[in-house]
């Protein structure tokens, strides 16, 4: 449901408001893909611009090299970037843009394929602690309040992981009692660390590293972590800290990656990759094992874009290259393609708020649309004719907190102010 309120400056939308309950702003975005890790937020009021290309940029911040997204709790925004030979973890006040604290760590990372040399993994904020993973595999734990360093572990060195194609990119999965990472060493595809000390609690599997973030869910009373490695999908029983299974799922091409984070819906797990790989959908059984529901090379081959599930339908950007990318909806149970349209946003990313989606394109274009399984949304013939908010490449997923939409490219962060004036 969408309720139009109206204003002389634009349109105010109360997204999904129902039953007389007025939606409220969601204030935190503590990790990649938001507070619940699925790129969705509850309904909240927004003021949208009257013109589709007139997004209100409240402020911008020039940064060093990075693909890491921002994380926000309260008025504190964490950005991770590289200046010269240091990875910089910085806490910014979202109201004043003043630096609250700054942590520097030396780095010698050099991208072998000519992309930027900054950090890739979005930091995580949990229980007033920041966890930040650099491109060389150094994981730092710092106090959110003042930036005091609690500990650092160098995972790639400790587990003898050689540099993969694009450096370390998957964000940590921080749980109450452990931190789960896709490290990718021999005997250490997945690793669990103690949040208090950074010491390894367990390590499992022999696959190399990928660029996807681990996810976890409690299924049939069993808490399971799903780690999409370089070689396939791995499941870990978090209570018993044991490997449940490991399914090979990878392209036959050597120069290929697994980079799209798995989706868990109830007892169903979905994973996707490009390079001719496609999709795999599983159902987890009560004993923790799995049955394969379907697999397809066509249904949804997401490169590094996030996927969003809504009532049995999976929405996402499919395709390896910008030129062949499509915005697509598929039936999660069967893999049937419900609709597919040339995205013109390239390998985009999304946030769902209420029953609408922010669609963020890799050349800095932003759209706001309702996505339904029955038919594709109306899209501009070429959104690139609209004003670009940031220059290419915009591969970092957006963040939304306190009525501000945060977008970034390799060297700049901007804040779009969607708050309704009081």
Q: Taking the chain (422 residues) in consecutive chunks of 10 residues, what is each chunk's mean pLDDT?
A: 47 56 76 95 86 84 96 97 97 95 95 90 97 97 98 95 84 95 94 97 93 96 96 95 95 88 97 94 97 95 94 95 92 97 90 94 93 90 74 96 96 94 78
Q: What CA–CA distance (Å, rounded) separates 347 from 361?
A: 7
Q: What CA–CA distance (Å, rounded) separates 63 from 304?
A: 23
**Residue 80 domain flag:** yes
**Residue 387 domain flag:** no
**Residue 119 domain flag:** yes
Stated pTM of the model: 0.93
Strand pairing class (124-126; 45-49): unpaired
CA 38 to centroid of chain Cα atoms: 8
In a 13 Å sphere around the CA of 421, the CA atoms on its Cβ side amount to 7
Return the SS3 of 246: strand
DSSP assignment letter at 379: -
Q: What CA–CA distance (Å, rounded) separates 67 from 44?
A: 28
Q: What CA–CA distance (Å, rounded) separates 124 from 30?
A: 6
**Residue 189 domain flag:** yes
**Residue 239 domain flag:** no
The pLDDT assigned to 378 comes to 84
* Residue 224 exposed, middle or buried by CB count within 10 Å (0-12, 13-18, 19+): buried
Q: What CA–CA distance (Å, rounded) separates 208 from 186?
A: 8
**Residue 388 domain flag:** no
How many domains are contained in the chain? 1
The pLDDT assigned to 129 comes to 98
Q: How many helices (H) and strands (E) does the chain have?
A: 1, 35
Q: Give residue 263's region: left, alpha or beta (phi > 0; psi -120 to 50).
A: beta
CA distances in angstroms from 86 to 79, 82, 103, 105, 135, listed in the order given: 14, 6, 9, 5, 11
**Residue 140 domain flag:** yes
Q: Please report, for the domain that includes residue 114, its CATH number.
A: 2.40.128.630
Return the SS3 of 385: helix
Q: Are 105 and 140 in contact (CB under 8 A)?
A: yes
Q: What CA–CA distance (Å, rounded) separates 227 from 79?
A: 25
Residue range of the domain that includes 76: 63-207
CB < 8 Å & 24+ apart, contacts of 190-197: 190/214, 190/225, 190/227, 190/229, 190/234, 190/236, 191/155, 191/159, 192/236, 192/238, 192/241, 193/139, 193/153, 195/126, 195/129, 195/131, 195/141, 197/151
The pLDDT assigned to 7 comes to 44
Token pair recorded at residue 82? 């590289």
Would you give the end-to-end CA distance of the chain in angstroms? 23
Strand pairing class (307-310; 278-284): unpaired
**Residue 333 domain flag:** no
């Amino acid at each position: 449901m969408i309720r139009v309120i109206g204003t002389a400056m634009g349109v105010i939308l109360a997204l999904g408001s129902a039953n007389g309950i007025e939606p409220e702003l969601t204030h935190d975005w503590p990790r990649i893909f938001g507070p619940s890790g699925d790129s969705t937020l509850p309904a909240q009021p927004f003021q949208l611009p009257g013109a589709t290309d007139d997004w209100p940029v409240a402020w911008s911040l020039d940064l060093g090299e990075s693909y890491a997204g921002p994380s926000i709790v309260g008025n504190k925004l964490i950005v991770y970037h590289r200046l010269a030979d240091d990875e910089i973890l910085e806490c910014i006040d979202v109201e004043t843009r003043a630096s609250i604290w700054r942590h520097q760590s030396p780095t010698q990372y050099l991208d072998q394929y000519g992309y930027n040399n900054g950090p890739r993994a979005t930091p995580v904020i949990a229980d007033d602690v920041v966890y930040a993973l650099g491109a060389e595999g150094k994981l730092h734990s710092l106090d959110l309040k003042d930036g005091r360093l609690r500990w650092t572990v160098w995972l790639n060195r400790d587990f003898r992981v050689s540099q993969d194609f694009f450096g370390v990119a998957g964000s940590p999965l921080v749980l109450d009692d452990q931190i789960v990472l896709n490290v990718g060493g021999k005997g250490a595809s997945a690793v669990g660390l103690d949040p208090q000390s950074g010491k390894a609690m367990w390590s499992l599997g022999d696959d190399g590293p990928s660029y996807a973030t681990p996810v976890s869910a409690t299924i049939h009373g069993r808490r399971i972590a799903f780690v999409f490695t370089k070689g396939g999908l791995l499941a870990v029983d978090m209570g018993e800290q044991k490997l449940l299974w490991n399914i090979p799922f990878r392209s036959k091409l050597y120069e290929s990656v697994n980079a799209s984070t798995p989706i868990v819906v109830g007892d169903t797990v979905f994973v996707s990759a490009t390079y001719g790989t496609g999709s795999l959908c599983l159902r987890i059984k009560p004993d923790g094992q799995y049955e394969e529901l379907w697999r397809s090379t066509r249904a949804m081959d997401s490169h590094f874009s996030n996927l969003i599930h809504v009532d049995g339908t999976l929405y996402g950007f499919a395709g390896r290259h910008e030129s062949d990318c499509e915005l697509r909806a598929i039936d999660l149970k069967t893999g049937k393609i419900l609709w597919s349209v040339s995205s013109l946003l390239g390998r985009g990313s999304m946030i769902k708020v209420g029953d609408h989606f922010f669609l963020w394109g890799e050349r800095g274009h932003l759209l706001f649309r309702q996505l339904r399984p029955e038919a594709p949304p109306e899209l501009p013939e070429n959104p690139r004719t609209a004003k670009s908010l940031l220059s290419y490449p915009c591969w970092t997923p957006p963040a939304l907190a306190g009525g501000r939409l945060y977008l970034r490219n390799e060297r700049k962060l901007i804040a779009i102010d969607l708050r309704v004036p009081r």
